[in-house]
């Protein structure tokens, strides 16, 4: 939904475009981006045909926009992880501790909504561990075994309408003083199975402790004949890959054509001894197009896997979340900026969950709380642009009318919303004509004046409205 913004006063120099924005909006910071070396993204690949190579090169660019994503999943496939197994994060990726720290409560039956993407990511994976584009691969590739599986990939998870709840096993020790718990050396356990699909470019890399960013490694490997890169797709369609090669900053569009179990969530151990973190989907939320100063609204689906009532705290709002219940939680964004064309803004939103009935005798610092993170994007820009000019031409003969003509075109990412003339001189015919959907033509016309010289004066005004591609 796009609301109407409040325009600023019109002002500006002759013939210039003037922004009509909104004042007083909260400024938003974009997420950091990995810096790419100046390499040709359309360079050929050693082991892929042209079309596959273009997809891979575009995916390299896409991966840099996910530079700061969290990665709390373990990819399945060749790597087998038992549900409930204890895990701990290391420099070499997720490691199993050998303990069985959790087990599924009841007999879970998957309820997958393949029409809604719960989470999407583009980046690199090494032996089942997802890493950010600018991550150093030395700890991962420098560890055993002698050969590693590396994937440049896009991955999307479908929404799980009834995510599995887990309970602790006898290996978990709960500490009464603060309700914390331990399970050997584990800090996490293999939790909910994620269903979805992947598009990946896979290769096998020898053990190598050289320090190199993940994105630089896969970019180099695509053109290196020593790496037999192959493309694999399990049912994921990506929209917008081609436009990335042309410098377009629009976010990718993920579509699931098929779903299968492809990953496990690495859940914190506290999920089985105190309060499980509510399931929030989608975790990657697209707000669509919202001009600066206008409020956009999207909702996320929240599942409370706990047997206690919770409250969701979002900004100044408090929303009740029933025990074992679900809600549709609205999230709001009013983007701000000063770009005279469309831009993509991103932000992380943290949703705090706390028990609705808190123990008044409990130390506030030890109060149980959980946070869920939503990565958000919006396409935005100045709501309107306007070009105006005072035309003042002395007419001595019929040929002088040509000097009154003005042909203007709206800036990129804008369409014409109006062409008009104001304050025209009496006795002349002044026209404002539309040309296509982005341009205006203005001119003074009429028979030669009976008495010369006479000035033809008018204000030419062209209004343009934001239309992000």
Q: Which of 240, 274, 308 is the last residue of a domain?
A: 274
Cα 422 from Cα 167, distance rounded (Å): 73
- pLDDT tens per residue across span 397-439: 888 899 999 999 999 999 999 999 999 877 788 999 999 999 9
Residue 158 in any domain: the answer is yes
Q: What's the angle, vertex CA 196, arms to CA 218 and CA 273, rounded to 5? A: 100
Q: What is residue 154's predicted lDDT score, i.e. its pLDDT?
A: 94
- pTM value is 0.70
Q: Are residues 40 and 188 in the same domain?
A: yes
Q: 37-62: per-residue pLDDT in tens?
A: 445 667 889 999 999 999 999 999 98
Q: Per the structure, how many domains does the chain have? A: 3
Same domain, 214 and 343: no
| Residue-level pLDDT at 12 | 28
Q: Report CA Rg, the chain.
A: 29
pLDDT at site 131: 87
Same domain, 43 and 149: yes
Do 311 and 398 belong together in one domain? no
Question: Do 268 and 281 have their domain in common?
Answer: no
Of the three residues 274, 305, 323, the one that is the final residue of a domain is 274
pLDDT band for position 79 (cuts 50, 70, 90): low
The pair phi, psi for residue 68, each rounded to 5°, is: -115, 20
Do 450 and 370 have their domain in common? no
pLDDT tens per residue across span 202-221 = 999 999 999 999 999 999 99
Q: Mind listing the pLDDT tens digit for each residue in 353-388?
A: 999 986 665 554 456 788 998 989 999 999 999 999
Query: Could you tell me if 349 and 308 lie in one domain?
Result: yes
Mean pLDDT lowest among 87-91, 160-164, 293-297, 459-463: 160-164
One domain for residues 241 and 259:
yes
Domain ranges, residue 172: 30-274
Q: 396 with 355, same domain?
A: no
Q: Which pLDDT score, from 0 to 100, does residue 137 have? A: 93
Burial 31-49 (b: 16+ CB within 10 A, else e): beebebeeeebeeebebbe
Same domain, 320 and 376: yes
Is 227 domain-assigned? Answer: yes
Q: Which of 229, 254, 274 is the last residue of a domain?
A: 274
Q: Based on the domain organization, do 194 and 51 belong to the same domain? A: yes
- The verdict on residue 3 lying in a domain is no
Q: What is the CATH number of the domain that holds 377?
A: 2.60.40.10
Domain annotation covers residue 19: no
Helix ranges (DSSP H) in 397-450: none
261 is a domain residue: yes
Residue 341 lies in a domain: yes
Q: Is residue 8 part of a domain?
A: no
SS (H, E, C) 161-208: CCCCCEEECCCCEEECCCCEEEECCECEEEEEEEEEEEEEEEEEEECC
pLDDT in tens, 299-320: 999 999 888 899 999 989 999 9
Residue 257 confidence class, pLDDT cut points 50, 70, 90? very high
Is 12 inside a domain boundary?
Answer: no
pLDDT over 70 percentage in the chain:
85
Q: Are residues 347 and 434 in the same domain?
A: no
């Amino acid at each position: 939904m796009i609301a109407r913004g409040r325009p600023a006063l019109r002002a500006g120099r002759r013939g210039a475009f003037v922004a009509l924005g909104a004042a007083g909006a909260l400024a938003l910071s974009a997420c950091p981006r990995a810096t790419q070396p100046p390499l040709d993204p359309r360079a050929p690949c050693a082991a892929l045909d042209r079309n596959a190579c273009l997809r891979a090169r575009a995916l390299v660019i896409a991966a840099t926009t996910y530079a700061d994503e969290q990665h709390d999943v373990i990819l399945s496939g060749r790597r087998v992880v038992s549900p409930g197994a204890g895990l701990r994060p290391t420099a070499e990726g997720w490691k199993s501790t050998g303990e069985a720290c959790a087990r599924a409560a009841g007999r879970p039956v998957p309820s997958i909504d393949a029409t809604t993407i719960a989470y999407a990511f583009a980046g690199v994976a090494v032996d089942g561990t997802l890493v950010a584009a600018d991550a150093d691969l030395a700890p991962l590739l420098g560890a055993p075994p002698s050969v590693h599986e590396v994937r440049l990939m896009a991955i999307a998870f479908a929404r799980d309408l009834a995510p599995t709840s887990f309970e602790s096993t006898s290996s978990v020790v709960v500490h009464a003083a603060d309700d914390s718990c331990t399970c050997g050396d584990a800090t996490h356990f293999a939790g909910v199975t994620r269903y979805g699909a992947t598009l990946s470019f896979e290769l096998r890399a020898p053990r190598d402790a050289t320090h190199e960013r993940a994105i630089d490694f896969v970019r180099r490997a695509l053109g290196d004949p020593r790496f037999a890169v192959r493309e694999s797709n399990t049912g994921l369609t990506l929209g917008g890959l081609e436009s990335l090669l042309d410098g377009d900053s629009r976010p990718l569009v993920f579509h699931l054509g098929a779903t299968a179990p492809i990953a496990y969530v690495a859940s914190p151990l506290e999920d089985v001894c105190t309060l499980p973190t509510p399931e929030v989907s989608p975790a990657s939320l697209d707000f669509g197009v919202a001009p600066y100063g206008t409020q956009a609204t999207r909702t996320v689906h929240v599942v409370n896997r706990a047997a206690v009532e919770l409250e969701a705290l979002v900004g100044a709002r408090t929303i009740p979340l029933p025990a074992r219940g679900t809600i549709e939680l609205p999230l709001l964004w009013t983007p701000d900026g000063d770009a005279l064309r469309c831009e993509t803004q991103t932000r992380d939103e943290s949703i705090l969950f706390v028990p609705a009935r808190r123990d008044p005798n409990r130390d506030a610092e030890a109060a149980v709380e959980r946070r869920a993170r939503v990565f958000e994007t919006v396409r935005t820009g100045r709501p309107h642009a306007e070009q105006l000019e005072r035309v003042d031409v002395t007419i001595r003969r019929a040929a002088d009318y040509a000097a009154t003509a003005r042909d203007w075109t709206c800036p990129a990412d804008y369409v014409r919303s109006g062409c008009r003339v104001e304050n025209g001189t009496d006795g002349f015919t002044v026209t404002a004509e539309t040309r296509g959907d982005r341009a205006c033509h203005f001119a003074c016309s009429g028979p030669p004046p009976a008495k010369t010289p006479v000035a033809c004066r008018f204000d030419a005004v062209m209004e343009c409205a934001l239309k992000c591609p």
